[in-house]
Amino acid sequence: MTDIAVVAFAQTTHTAENAGLSETEMLLPVIQQVKAATGLNRFGFTCSGSCDYLEGAPFAFVSALDAVGAWPPIAESHVEMDAAWALYEAWVELKHGVVDTALVYGFGKSSQTDVAELLVQQLDPYYLAPLGPDQVSLAALQARAHLDRSGAKEDDLRAVAARSRAAGRDNPYALHLDDPAADAGYEVAPLRPHDVAPRTDGAAAIVLASGDRARELCERPAWITGIDHRADAHSPGVRDLSRSESARLAGERAGAAGVEVAELHAQFSHEELILREALGLGEDVLVNPSGGALSANPPMAAGLIRIGEAAARIHSGAARRALGHASFGPCLQQNLVCVLEGDRR
């Protein structure tokens, strides 16, 4: 069994508005940071996650490659998914054992278009997209289903948002958002504006390394003890929206039990409740100390950042066993769970 660890993580100071940088310009500093942190300028494998539609043109990943310094040519691939899945692809490559280091990055801006509306076009093109249900409306359907089944109340959603925002204010990379307003109206009931992840531009990069190479590159590598991802069926009408079967499966296979900290890619308050239940996270688990996606949600990077944040707590010695989670698709359709541990030997 090849031991693979997160040995470096960097993210941008995320912004709620366009900061006047191209995606490539936004990405370059985080790649430079992980290169500096590891002392590596070349990696055995490189993989990224991005979305053409966020930029309104094809081939977002082509110009992003300029930030890597891909000369001489590099072994490289790309997923049209959150970069957490790029990390998964890199993990598989390292597990295969031909190379021992990998660079993973993701980037995206939600300042350039209305992402909730954009994601209508991610839905079934025959039965769903023509009706135009935006991302928030569908999420609210899931929230309603969860509240009805679990007995959780809208106040529980507010509590998630309040805790996330408070934590985010302590995170220099997150947006610093006010406490939920007492009189906030619904955006789409039962969700209020604070239950919805904010518009964010940002990027992140991670370096993975295997075996002794990881120990050389990092004082306290965050070893990946389990990683798994699963999909649910697409249509909200053919699955139990009140829970996440795919997250449960991924958590079970990745070994979610017994983590001290969990960074969950919950883009809506109720998603945290669904994910806690699916992953079996008790009250004693510290959830989203970074503020989570409710404090900064750069598309295509936010899932990778959850893994990075979980790893960072192991790098710093703050946690021994941590979980990073990423989600993708409407209503938590796909879920990835990565369990990390320090001090393996």
Euclidean distance between CA atoms 102 and 76, whole angstroms: 10
Residue 134 touches other proteins, criterion: CB under 8 A: no
155 lines the binding site for other proteins (CB under 8 A): no
Q: Which stretch binds other proteins (CB under 8 A): 55-63, 210-218, 281-289, 316-324?
A: 55-63
**Cβ 290 to other proteins, closest distance in Å?**
26
What is the rounded CA–CA span in Å between residue 119 and residue 105?
A: 22
Binding residues for other proteins restricted to 175-204, rule: CB under 8 A:
none
Residue 43 CA to residue 101 CA, distance in Å, equals 5
Cα 123 to Cα 45, 116, 134, distances in angstroms = 32, 12, 9
Q: Which is nearer to other proteins, 70 or 166 (CB)?
A: 70
Distances (CA, A) of 199 to 102, 154, 183, 202: 29, 22, 21, 10
Stretch that binds other proteins, among 7-15, 78-86, 155-163, 286-294 (CB under 8 A): 78-86
For position 294 contacting other proteins by CB under 8 A, the verdict is: no
∠ CA 118-131-201 to the nearest 5 degrees?
15
Q: Give yes or no for residue 121 binding other proteins (CB under 8 A).
A: yes
How far apart CA 317 and CA 304 sit, in angstroms, is 20
Note whether 74 binds other proteins by CB under 8 A: yes
Interface pick for other proteins out of 57, 185, 219, 282 (rule CB under 8 A):
57
Pick one of 14, 78, 243, 313: the residue that binds other proteins (CB under 8 A). 78
Residue in 141, 174, 249, 262 binding other proteins, rule: CB under 8 A = 249
Strands 4-11 and 222-231: antiparallel
Instruction: For residue 35, give the nearest of 2, 9, 12 by alpha carbon.
Output: 9
- x/- mask, other proteins, residues 304-343, rule CB under 8 A, reads ------------------------xxx--xx---------
As measured in angstroms, the least distance from the Cβ of 148 to other proteins is: 23
Q: Which of 98, 282, 283, 345 binds other proteins (CB under 8 A)?
A: 98
Nearer Cβ to other proteins (31/197): 31
The DSSP secondary-structure symbol of 46 reads: E
To other proteins, the closest distance from the beta carbon of 7 in angstroms equals 19
Residue 165 contacts by C-beta under 8 Å, 6 or more apart in sequence? 177, 178, 179, 180, 194, 291, 294, 295
Residue 1: DSSP 8-state: -
| Residue in 99, 124, 277, 318 binding other proteins, rule: CB under 8 A | 124
Binder to other proteins among 16, 37, 63, 159 (CB under 8 A)?
63
Structure tokens at 332: 């938590």
33 binds other proteins (CB under 8 A): no
- Minimum Å gap between C-beta 275 and other proteins is 17
Q: What DSSP designation does 228 have?
A: E
Instruction: Choose which of 16, 37, 99, 113 interacts with other proteins (CB under 8 A).
Output: 113
Tell me how far, at minimum, the Cβ of 104 lies from other proteins, in Å. 14
Binding window for other proteins (CB under 8 A); candidates: 125-133, 135-143, 218-226, 306-314: 125-133
313-316 — which CB contacts under 8 Å span 24+ positions?
A: 313/261, 313/289, 314/6, 314/220, 314/221, 314/222, 314/340, 314/341, 314/342, 315/6, 315/9, 315/218, 315/219, 315/220, 315/221, 315/222, 315/342, 316/220
Could you say whether residue 260 binds other proteins (CB under 8 A)? no
